[in-house]
Structures are given as structure tokens and as C-alpha cells.
Amino acid sequence: MQEQDLSKKSIVAPGELRVVFERTPDGIRLQSLSDTVTDCEFLSAWSLPLFTVKLRHCETKEEIQLDADSGWGEVAITSTADGAELGWQQARVAGLQVIVRVTADSEANALRWSLRVENPASQWSVWRVVFPQIAITELDPDAKVFFPRAPGEVQKGLWRREFRHHGLYPEPWTTMQFMAAYDEHRKTGLYVAMHDPNAGAKDITVASSPEERTVTFTFDHPAEAMGVGGNGFVLSGEAVWQLLRGDWFDAALIYRQWLRREARWYPELGPEGRADTPQWMRELPVWTQAWGDRAQVVSKVKAFAEYMDVPVGFHWYGWHQIPFDNDYPHYFPVKEGFAEGVQELRQAGIYVMPYINGRLWDMHDRGVEDYQFTSVALPAATKDEQGQPYEEKYGSKEADGSPVRFAVMCPSTELWQNRIRSICLRLFDEYHVDGVYIDQISAMSPKLCFDKTHGHPLGGGHWWVEGYWEMLQSIRDRMPEGCMLTSECNSEPFARWFDGYLTWTWQHDGQVPAFMAVYGSAIQMFGRAYGGGETKSLALRMKAGQQLVFGEQIGWMGPEIINEEDSAAFLRQMVRLRWRLRRYFYTGTMCRPPRLEGDIPTVRADWKWREDWWVTTDAVMTGAWRLPEENKLVLMFVNVSDSPVSARFHFDGRQYGVEGQQVRVTIIDQEDTLETFVSPSDFDRELRLPPCTAYAWEVCSMR
């Protein structure tokens, strides 16, 4: 421990952000966190401790919890040249120390935190560390909270209603490592993040407490070597609290700036986007999916592609003889005619991507028989603390009516890496598919595996993603040129190894394209679930319109949609406009979506994601993408309602990085040029948007 500072309070003030620490008799607490310009206090009176350390006794399994603000034998706050160092020492667990270092980044108005736990006690194991955690007071009745569910979500007024959302990152409901709370009226807010370049496992939670008018953000890290005495803990990367002068988009830009610089999973981008993704995949505008053998799917998919009259991706389910969600991973032999069907589709200009699962082994993997699970797979399955394999069920049934029980396989094991690689390479080499969809890898949380024979740290850490990185790289190294890989959902740390993510969980109110603001052009997104129901035509327009402006590849509906005249016509309009604008999405950068002024109505439909699933959006959806090297910009406007909408739009070229005093605006739809005009780079325009219609402005600087 460093020499104790005799003062009870310590202030660290990076730029316009100010934090005050206070020494208590047996701890250290946060007294204040504020914006010094707006005089806005962020910290709730109902405060959380700066950290919580949870330990477990290796023999008795007794658990103790140590909070930063109480229960310590010795504490210290010591000023440093760029911030402060805070120290805690504990008597009950002999020699246990926690050291937190906070660095002031005045240029960014940010606090950057590191934390380590030194634990020399061989009888005690550090089990979990909760850090950072903060309780934010109500900034305004209309203040908003951003959290990273699916593409990102914004909720207003959480301080006055019950709300809780959490997930063990990385998974599709916590896809990135940042959150934010902000007041747009006062232009103040707080960005709270883990900048962890290793993508270690962590529970990320946002929760409200209406009685206290508080919203809490917490990051709970399961430790490496859980259950091993004297294991200690070092925070991977750094925690960041940064003053936010904007909204969710500005928060995404903060995260993107860090990500591109340090994250181990961010793909390499060149002048034309991501060079290791095939050109056809970067450009693809639409997907369809179907189940069955050649006779059941090929003619329907070809008719879909002929109607769209653009390149089409086809996600093929049920190509194998085993039932779906049963007898995994024994996908071969294939159904009769599969190879011929692949070739017929490819000859029609359709790109074929079959389904496999990348996580699961059926525990009765030949009908009701334990064929290879116990003899082959069990040693490589993830195990809980009692040494039992983690099991999952998905509603599928064995021949005797019992539920299919799956073991979750450990990605760090050679057996599982070899098995998935061999399946993928056989599909590429023998059946000449264009891509393989490896289900669940980017869709499910890590399992805290306790099998010592696997060679990874027990429990937490970043070994889980690294196992998949090794597996996927071994596939990419050997797959034929022009082929690609995709997975379910959009957990971020696999982006370097997948060429596409399936966006079927993007189904919520309040969605914003934060993921695309961060990852636009780095990985292609595709695949909303298009359900039925009485409002299915409106639901289709809402989803397809949102996919267009978000920059996703459109679709993942069944090919029979072309038989529904109105829905098919709208879908084709979105697809063909995206095809016309395709270069913006694989080479460009997402910009802030245009904000329209006026009385913009909303629409509401049952998206039928899980039974009844009602979603509300604006009737007019907007998006913006930029080609920085060419000083070009596209703005998109989609009226998904069945009524015309009028609005006013103020364009400021400086906001979009379009240089020059004048701009040329070309208004286009999916087929034609509708209008061209030249204007100063700062202007207002009245928009009249016909029902069920999309068009785009291509904006070029006149310099």
C-alpha cells in the first residue's frame, strides 16, 4: 500500500467532468460525479459501492462479499501525476488488497479505470468482481438510456418505471460493452463502458429503481481460475466514464474509436471495405430461407430470385437427413439431390449457405441411442462445478417423445474445433456451397466451464472467445476462395472471423442502429425474422424499411412472399434500392440518421417474433451513409405507412462531413433519377413522402 493521504476527500477533474472520492472509517466511496459546465450531478444519493469483490472459501464454499465503501482494515487515496490511486487492505482474508487507479483524460472529459485484486490467501478464491458500477440520478423526466441489446436500444424515462435488462456478454442481448444515460435538453450525459480488447465474459446490467429515481449500470466479471485459491484478479482493458454531449450515436462513435484502435476482433478494412469477405457477399442485397430437399426448395428460390432480379442469398435448412435440432453434429449423409440442388441454384446466380450448429452435441445422437456422446464428446463438453455437462433443450423431441438434450461443447477443445472445421470444409469442398452458417456461436453466452482437462482457466476470462477464434481461423485458412462464414445474432467479438451476422433478434421497440454505427462495412448484417399475423404486411414494411436505413442486407423471409402482391412489391423496392446503393454499405461509414421536423406519425404492428410481439416505429425511417474518400453521402427516407407524410428536413453538410460551399443532390428511387438540384450546403427542404415508398438523396460536394 502506498502512503496514506491524510485528507478525507480527493478530487479528480478531467476537463469538464469531476469526481470526488471520500474516505470513510473503513472504506472509500464516491461522493460526487458531475458535469461542471451544466452543473449536473450524475451520482444518485442512493449510491453503489465503486466495486464489489466476491470470494469463496476453497474447502467450506463459504462466500464473502467486500464492498469498496465498508469493511476494510486500511484504505488510502494517493494523488498521482494524472489522477489518483486508491487502495484497500483486508484483515479477514490475510493480505488481500484491491488497487484501483483512475486516470484523468482531460481532452476526452473522461475517467479511465484499472483494477486489480492481490490475493495471497491459498484458502480463498476470488469468485467475481463487480466493476465498474454506478447509480445515476434522474437527469430529466425525458432523459434517455442506451443499452446494447441487439443493434442497440434507447428507452426514455426509465427512472420512473420498473426496468431491468442484463446478459452475460458476449451474447445477442448484450452485443457490445457500453451504455449511456443522457439529457438531450441540457446536452449532458454519461458514457459508461468496458474497453476490454479481449472480450472477456462479463454480466452487463441496466436496471431502474423508480422509488429512488435511479438507473444503475453494472459490469460483473466472473474471475479466471474460479475456485482456485490465491487466484487474484486483473481487470481486462479499462473501464471508462466519459462526459457525453450528445446521444446514442455519439456514444457509439466513442466506442468505435476505441474499438478500431485496440479490439483484437476488429477486422482489417481497406479502401473497398473488408477485403477478406468475398465481393459478392459484400454487395448482396437480399436473403431468402427455406426448409427441405431439392424438390421442396429449389424451384421456389429460383422464382424468388427471378422476381427480385438481383443477386440473392439462400439460407438452406433441412438439407441433412437427421431431423432439425436432433442428432447433432452428424449432418452427413445429406438428403438426396442436395449436391445437384446447390449447383442448380448457383447456376441461376443464387448463393447457397447451408445451416449447421456450432455449439451442441445431442446426448442421444442416433435416435434414442447414445451413439458417440459418452464415448467421444463427453470429455470435450463444458462442465459445471460438479463436473456435469451443461445441458440445453430447444423443444425438439426424440422418437420416443422425450426432449432432445444437448451438451454445450467447449470451444477450446481440439475435438470440437476439429469437428466443426471438418463439417464446414466438407460442405465447401464436396458440395461447393458458397458459405456456411454456423449457428449459435455469436448468439449464446459463454459457459463458465470447470473442466481442468481442457487447459483453459476455470470459469471466467476470455478463453471462450479465443477458442472460437482459433476454430474459425482454421476454417478460413482452408476454405476455398470466394467462400464465407456467418453466424446467428451479432455478439461483437467474432466479427473478424465471420463475414455476416444474422439479425433475427433485432425485434424491439426503441431500436437504433448503434451496432452499424460501430461496425458498418466491417461485417454484413442480414436476416430479420418475418412473421405472419393480421398486420403482417405492415410488419414487413417496418422491418424491410428499417433494414434498408440500418444498412442491413434485406430479408430472410420465405421465397413464397412473392405471391403476396403488395408485400412483394414493397420488398422488391427496398431490395433494388439497396442494390443500387450497395457500395455505401460495404465501403462507407454510417452517419447520424437524418432528423425530420414536423408531426411524424407512428405505426404499430405485430412482428410475430415470439407469438404476439407488437412493435412501434416512426412511419418515416431515415438513414445516412458516407463515402469519406469520395466526399459523397446518401440519405434515405422510407415511408412504411399506407398514408402520405409531409415533413421538413434541415441539411447541414458540415454535420455529415461533406466539404464545400455547394452540393449537388440527386434524388433517386430503386430504378430512376427523380430530380437533381444544386444548393448551398446548408438548406431546408419540405419532404412529401408517398405511402409505401422509399427514395434516397445522393449528395456530392461541388467544392
The sign of the CA dihedral 502, 218, 392, 58 is positive
Asked whether residue 7 is assigned to any structural domain, the reply reads: no
CA–CA gap between residue 346 and residue 664 (Å, rounded):
40
CA–CA gap between residue 80 and residue 86 (Å, rounded):
10
Describe the crossing of helices 294-308 and 338-347 by its angle, rounded to 10 degrees.
10
Q: Specify whether 335 is located in the same domain as 476.
A: yes
**Average pLDDT value over all residues in the chain:** 96
Q: Enter the pTM of the model.
A: 0.97
- Nearest CA to 69 out of 26, 33, 103, 32 is that of 26
Asked whether residue 677 is assigned to any structural domain, the reply reads: yes
Q: Specify whether 577 is located in the same domain as 685.
A: no
CA–CA gap between residue 70 and residue 431 (Å, rounded):
64
Q: Specify whether 381 is located in the same domain as 489.
A: no
Cell of 353: 449457405
Q: Specify whether 397 is located in the same domain as 434.
A: no
Determine the pLDDT at residue 310: 98
* pLDDT tens-place string over residues 658-674: 888 999 999 999 999 99
Q: Specify whether 511 is located in the same domain as 543.
A: yes
Q: What is the DSSP string of 309-322?
A: TS-EEEEEES-BSS
Q: Specify whether 651 is located in the same domain as 539.
A: no
Q: Specify whether 635 is located in the same domain as 558.
A: no
* Alpha carbon distances (Å) from 269 to 167, 299, 580, 588: 30, 37, 22, 11
* pLDDT tens-place string over residues 564-613: 999 999 999 999 999 999 999 999 999 999 999 999 999 999 999 988 99
Q: Specify whether 680 is located in the same domain as 644.
A: yes
For residues 689 and 601, the answer to whether their CB atoms sit within 8 Å is: no
What is the domain-level CATH number for residue 556? 3.20.20.80
Instruction: List strand residue ranges (DSSP E) for 607-643, in order.
Output: 614-618, 620-627, 632-639
**Does the pLDDT of residue 2 top 70, yes or no?**
no
Q: Specify whether 380 is located in the same domain as 439.
A: no
- In percent, how much of the chain has pLDDT > 90? 95
What 3-state class would DSSP assign to 281?
Answer: helix
Asked whether residue 144 is assigned to any structural domain, the reply reads: no
* pLDDT tens-place string over residues 504-535: 999 999 999 999 999 999 999 999 999 888 99
Determine the pLDDT at residue 1: 36
Determine the pLDDT at residue 8: 79
Asked whether residue 636 is assigned to any structural domain, the reply reads: yes
Q: Domain span at residue 688?
A: 590-701
- In percent, how much of the chain has pLDDT > 70? 99
| Lowest mean pLDDT across 382-386, 474-478, 566-570, 606-610 | 606-610
* pLDDT tens-place string over residues 106-121: 999 999 999 999 999 9
* pLDDT tens-place string over residues 156-211: 999 999 999 999 999 999 999 999 999 999 999 999 999 999 999 999 999 999 99
What is the average per-residue pLDDT within 404-411?
A: 98
CA–CA gap between residue 430 and residue 435 (Å, rounded):
13
What is the average per-residue pLDDT within 317-330?
A: 97
Q: Specify whether 347 is located in the same domain as 364.
A: no
Determine the pLDDT at residue 126: 98
Q: Specify whether 510 is located in the same domain as 594.
A: no
- Look at residues 532, 567, 587 and tell me which one is the last residue of a structural domain: 587
* Alpha carbon distances (Å) from 402 to 9, 35, 325, 392, 494: 63, 59, 13, 14, 34
- Look at residues 349, 379, 408 and tell me which one is the last residue of a structural domain: 408
Backbone angle region of 287, left / alpha / beta, with phi > 0 → left and psi within -120 to 50 → alpha: beta
Asked whether residue 40 is assigned to any structural domain, the reply reads: no
Give me the residues paired with residue 227 across strands: none
What is the domain-level CATH number for residue 630? 2.60.40.1180
Cell of 265: 476482433
Give me the residues paired with residue 546 across strands: none
Asked whether residue 548 is assigned to any structural domain, the reply reads: yes
Q: Specify whether 555 is located in the same domain as 634.
A: no
Please tell me which residue, 533 or 321, carries the higher pLDDT value. 321
Determine the pLDDT at residue 531: 85
Asked whether residue 503 is assigned to any structural domain, the reply reads: yes
**Does the pLDDT of residue 486 top 70, yes or no?**
yes
Give the confidence band of 6 by pLDDT, cuts at 50, 70, 90. Answer: very low
* pLDDT tens-place string over residues 413-456: 999 999 999 999 999 999 999 999 999 999 999 999 999 999 99
What 3-state class would DSSP assign to 33?
Answer: strand
- The total number of structural domains in the chain stands at 3
* pLDDT tens-place string over residues 213-248: 999 999 999 999 999 999 999 999 999 999 999 999
What 3-state class would DSSP assign to 560?
Answer: helix
Determine the pLDDT at residue 472: 98
What is the average per-residue pLDDT within 604-623?
A: 95
Asked whether residue 121 is assigned to any structural domain, the reply reads: no
Give the confidence band of 7 by pLDDT, cuts at 50, 70, 90. Answer: low
Determine the pLDDT at residue 94: 86
Residue 81 CB-half CA count within 13 A: 0
- Look at residues 386, 408, 430 and tell me which one is the last residue of a structural domain: 408
